[in-house]
Structure 1
Amino acid sequence: MKTLQQAFRSTRKAALSAVAVLTLAVGGLVTLTTAPAAHADTQICDQYGSTTIEGRYVVQNNRWGTTQTQCINVTSTGFQITQADGSVSGGAPKSYPSVFYGCHYTNCSPGTNLPAQLSSMSSAPTSVSFNYNSNSIYDASYDIWLDPTPKKDGVNQTEIMVWLNHTGSVQPVGSKVGTANIAGRGWDVWTGNNGTNNVISFVAQSTTSSFSFDVKAFAGEAINRGLAQNSWYLTSIQAGFEPWSNGVGLAVTSFSASANLGGGTSGGTTGGTTGGTTGGSTGGTTGGTGGSGCRVTFTPQTWSGGFTANVTVANTGSSAVNNWRLGFTLPSGESITSAWNATISPSSGAVTATGLSYNAQIPAGGSQSFGFQGTSSGSFTAPSGFNLNGTACAVS
């Protein structure tokens, strides 16, 4: 398949160029202007207007590829495109209306701990839900930015795109170089360069309107393919749409993201193995072999109606624990929606976290970490009754 070279310009901050096959996608690299903090149903039509939701995320109109009007209606949990004039054929999309956590062209979400080094993170969980339509040409995607420095302004060196859906003939920058299985899904992997930064894109082999995963799983694949290093910084996690034609009605109905610092690994993952999902074994007191001592460190991050938790299981015994299983009980009203570095089943009540093939052993004096995201119907309360393969654990 032959490619087209098409140059295009960005706004005040950087000049962008793009390589396209039929059409290509890049995340919007733009200068942002900031509006007052959002309330439900706030409309933004300013080209680079933005506002905040939930006290922790930025929603941006980000109309960077066209002079035609685009408006978004910002709700308490996301946004919907309400006006999307004009269309473009070939080359770059019209815009990237999106919601993000982190820093983008000096606009940082409230209280964010990004930029942060990948090596310093135990996990970076995120989730999104989209509403689609059939009368637009677009992709629905994450845009995740990595750089060798803790950059808060300008273009990052590597862009990770995660496409959950696309219509028409649009396709990513560069060319398809293989496939991967990450976070329980199959992906076509594309790599290329848009003239300003490297791009690695993961195109879902089957469409989904909602997805929860650990950003470190996709970052690990970028590391394995030589497009990043574990010492690099994650600067922002963004989710939204790249429309080429129309776009009215496309919506992000919910979004969450966070970066859990501490307990990071020394390298990337292979084949996207990071990021287990809920499911698997049940029960919390049987299976595996090992020593008789354990300590659990439980570190939550909470917000209204939801939470993430990072869990470190230390083996304080004298022999390795093989095929570890950590049992614990969630308080009433709390439910797990996704997990990484372990499988967890069931989703509420008395649950069991089970190590995956690559982290199934905890050596004597060593530890393993995993995490999960969940919902809460009231104020958050930590789980109780932690036990490792049937042995009660101290909690810190």
Structure 2
Amino acid sequence: MSTLQRAFRSTRKAVLSAVVALGVAVGGLIALTAAPAAHADTQICDQYGSTTIQGRYVVQNNRWGTTATQCINVTSSGFQITQADGTATNGGPKSYPSVFYGCHYTNCSPGTNLPAQLSAISSAPTSVSFNYVGNAVYDAAYDIWLDPTPRKDGVNKTEIMVWYHQTSPVQPVGSRVGTANVGGRSWDVWTGNNGSNDVISFVAPSAIGSWNFDVKAFANETINRGMAQSSWYLTSVQAGFEPWQNGAGLAVTSFSSSVNIGGGSTTGGTTTGGTTSGGTTGGSGSPSCKVTVTPQTWAGGYTANVTVANTGSSAVNGWKLGFTLPSGQSITSAWNATVSPSSGSVTASSLSYNAQIPAGGTQSFGFQGTYSGTYAQPAGFTLNGTSCS
């Protein structure tokens, strides 16, 4: 096979648009309407079949580039490709089976607060874990869609692709334009246009199996490169695979996404300060601090975005934020900080790229967790051993 470009990715969008138009013509029966909430092990072989998991995400088969059969097995936490017939023949991939949060061709995930204006988003924590196979030609990509308008259908203006893994000879659309450090990782950066929308791709030098990050970091880098504006809207985030040959066995084993708007979120509230001791000492500076926690909750789970404000007159170099989780809560993942242990008295430690909090400045990190009973806020915040006020 010759070197495969992704220039025909727009074919998928055109086909989907045609399906929507046909549905309207025959009486408003839209083929992309979300199915009822899925139970584990739901099989989907329909070309554009979709269903929901966890009451908040949509899983879609999305076989747009081939007439050959593709089937996915939807679980409570993701999906696996179980059948992937045919070979891509038009230069683009066969499909993009994926799980998403937000709105995709009028199919919106339950309870989503997308589209949301980038300038209003304080953070958009997300995580995904992939399972790879060795007998296929594919890429594993996390898609971030941006548009100047809050559209819920059709092609967006700019597509950000975060490539966790790819096999030869697959490569992004366009050409390599340099490197970037985003989210504490180094990436090869490619830019181009697939004939329908602009594309910026961040390609990992080696395969990433699982990673948590803030979508806002990639949006900001895209803005810095002139391919988006802060007034634009985030419409959806998606994680899945683009197979060219085979693909059976590829799986998204876990996925999470939430979007925090300004100082608030779709659920929950904020907490400030703290009085009890609950951390470890470290770093330098004499901190005075204010801590704001912005949670987003669902049944049995939540994410929390934490902003640490240095209200003192000198910089804090190297920070450790101590706090106490309520009984029944446990942290499962974190971003922009190292957080341990997973329950009880917890310490979040800065990373190399966010270790300084300037006087009057802030740093943010976040974590995802589980809870039993009723969700409650963490308490007892200390910055480098000194209680926040």
* Secondary structure at 2:140 match in 1: strand
Taking a change above 3 Å as real, the CA distance of residues 296 and 44 of structure 1, as seen in their structure-2 partners, is: same
CA shift in 2, pair 1:362/1:329, >3 Å: farther
| Letter paired with 1:252 | V
Contact 1:123 1:371 in 2 (8 A): no
Looking at structure 2, the residues matched to 112 and 130 of structure 1 have their Cα atoms a distance apart, in angstroms, of 23
Q: Provide Cα deviations, 1:346-378, integer angstroms capped at 9, x if missing partner.
A: 343330343765672343xx4524131233363
For residues 172 and 207 of structure 2, what CA distance do their matches in structure 1 show?
Answer: 16
**Could you give the per-residue CA deviations for residues 281-315 of structure 1, whole angstroms, max 9, x where no partner exists?**
x96334332464x3322121233554321123344
The aligned residue for residue 206 of structure 2 is 206
Comparing 375-384 and 126-135, the one that deviates more: 375-384
- Rounded to whole Å, the distance in 2 between the matches of 1:91 and 1:306 is 41
Is 1:374 the equivalent of 2:368?
yes
Distance change (3 Å), C-alpha of 1:362 and 1:14: farther
Question: Aligned Cα RMSD in Å?
Answer: 2.9
Q: Is the 8 A contact 2:314 2:358 kept in 1?
A: yes
1:41 Cα deviation after fit: 1.0
Deviation readout 1:363-394 (Å, 9 max, x if unpaired)? 3xx45241312333635443221023433224
Q: Distance in 2 between matches of 1:321 and 1:108?
A: 43
Counterparts in 2 of 1:232-311, with a 5 A limit? 232-262=232-262, 284-290=280-286, 292=288, 294-304=289-299, 306-311=301-306
Q: Distance in 1 between matches of 2:91 and 2:298?
A: 40
Aligned residues between the structures: 357
Normalised by the length of structure 1, the TM-score is 0.82
* Distance in 2 separating the partners of 1:37 and 1:211: 26
Contact 1:301 1:308 in 2 (8 A): yes
> 1:384 & 1:339 partners in 2: Cα distance?
19
- Give, as a single letter, the amino acid of the residue that structure 2 aligns with 1:13: S
Whether 1:11 aligns to 2:7 is no
Q: 1:358 to 1:285 in 2, by over 3 A?
A: closer
- Alignment of 1:99 with 2:99, yes or no, is yes
- Counterpart of 1:327 in structure 2 is 322
**Which whole-Å CA distance do the structure 2 matches of 1:381 and 1:261 have between them?**
20
Deviations 1:300-356 (A, max 9, x none): 123355432112334455x2443354322334652352223xx33434333034376
For the structure 1 residues 69 and 383, does the alpha-carbon distance in structure 2 shift closer, same or farther, using more than 3 Å as the test? same
The answer to whether the 8 A contact 1:314-1:362 is kept is no
Distance in 2 (CA, whole Å) between partners of 1:4 and 1:83 is 24
Is the CA contact 1:77–1:253 (under 8 Å) kept in the aligned structure 2? yes
Is residue 339 from structure 1 mapped to residue 343 from structure 2 by the alignment?
no
Structure 1: gaps (5+ residues): 16-29, 265-281
User: Structure 1 pair 246/284, CA: closer, same or farther in 2 (3 Å)?
Assistant: same
**Percent of aligned pairs with the same amino acid:** 65
Cα shift at 1:213: 0.8
- State the distance in 2 between where 1:73 and 1:357 align: 39
Match of 1:360 among 351, 356, 359: 356
Q: Return the match for 1:386 from 359, 381, 389.
A: 381
The superposition leaves residues 138-192 of structure 1 with CA deviations (integer Å, 9 ceiling, x where unpaired) of: 1111111001111111100000111111123111100111112222322111100
Deviations 1:44-90 (A, max 9, x none): 11111111000000001111111122111111111111122211145
Q: Is the 8 A contact 1:51 1:58 kept in 2?
A: yes
Gaps of at least 5 residues in structure 2 are 20-29, 265-277
Contact 2:6 2:93 in 1 (8 A): no
Cα distance in 1, alignment partners of residues 326 and 6 from structure 2: 56
Q: Indicate the structure with greater helix content.
A: 2
TM-score of the aligned structures, taking structure 2 as reference length:
0.83
Look up the match of 2:171.
171
In the other structure, the counterpart of 2:67 is 67
User: Residue 327 of structure 1 aligns to which amino acid in structure 2?
Assistant: G
CA distance in 1, matches of 2:308, 2:163: 34
Alpha-carbon distance between aligned partners in 2 of 1:246 and 1:239, rounded to the nearest angstrom: 18
